[in-house]
Amino acid sequence: MKNLRSRFNRFCLRNRDKGIPNLMLFVAVGTFLVTLLFNLGYTQIFYLLMFNYTKILEGQVWRLITFVFTMPLDVFTSLIFLYCFVSLGRAVEGAMGTLRFNFYYLSGVLLMDIFGMMFGGFTWFHQEGQFLFVQGDFSTFFAGNMAFFLYLSLILCYSTLYPESQFLLFFIIPIKAWLLALFYFIYIIYQIIDTAIGLGCYPQCLFPLVGLANYFLFFGKDAGNLIPISWKIKAGRGFRRNSAPKMTGTVPFSSSQPKRENHTPYTHRCTVCGKTDVTNPELEFRYCSRCNGYFCYCQEHINNHTHIE
């Protein structure tokens, strides 16, 4: 699995400029047009494009793709929401590369389709302390929010790539990206519990986890970037302090002095300016994939340095 991931990452790096550029812009424009028509009274277009388990089995396979344009929001809220996520999409695409970002979004669509087709035809209702198995079309429980949670997964992508950057919540309150990712996790848990209690249907209540699964599929252990660097430094110091051997009894001396190992007091050091995660814990450090080697740069130089060939 690790070798397969490495090959995929190399393939995407070699072809990073291929694919559909500004993919989120096209998706957002289509979503806004459908939302506008929906609020003007042309609801049949919205219901013709949204995910529907029964209709797909009858041959309306375009719904497997067009559901990304269906979000039941009012025009003003939709405009603000889409503007924010187009900006996030551009930043994530610039860091991941066009091709890899295309794969990321399309795999999210595919996973949503798989979930919908697997669990859209039956459900388990919890009533009076027991579960009742019922067959039918239950895709309407999550179809309207499938595109919404695909958009929300971009928050995790951006927070992983730029955890120390700031958002202006409600255009007023500054908030760090990693903290926004924490709110995202809390919202997912709330949404699952609220759906499970309010509707009592299983496993339809678990559909918010699909976008989360797609995120971990692409980022894997890089999800650790969501943890602030200052927390990692404090945890590392505490671990080294607790794991240090306690000297008891007589200390043996020998005539030959053992060689001291060279321990660096930092984890990341910028190749350009020399700043480290110890001297400047507020900075974000990244490793350049285009340099020929394992070279680290701070947030001020990761996009502003000469690549080492």
pLDDT digits (tens, 9 = 90+) for 35-56: 999 989 888 998 999 998 999 9
CA distance 85 to 83: 6
Domain ranges of the chain: 2-226, 267-309
- Tell me the pLDDT tens digit for each residue of 106-120: 999 999 999 989 988
- CATH 1.20.120 matches 2-226: no
* Mean pLDDT of the region 145-159: 87
117 or 132, greater pLDDT? 117
- Taking CA atoms, 112 is separated from 26, 45, 48, 106, 133, in Å, by 19, 21, 18, 10, 22
- Which pLDDT score is estimated for 164? 76
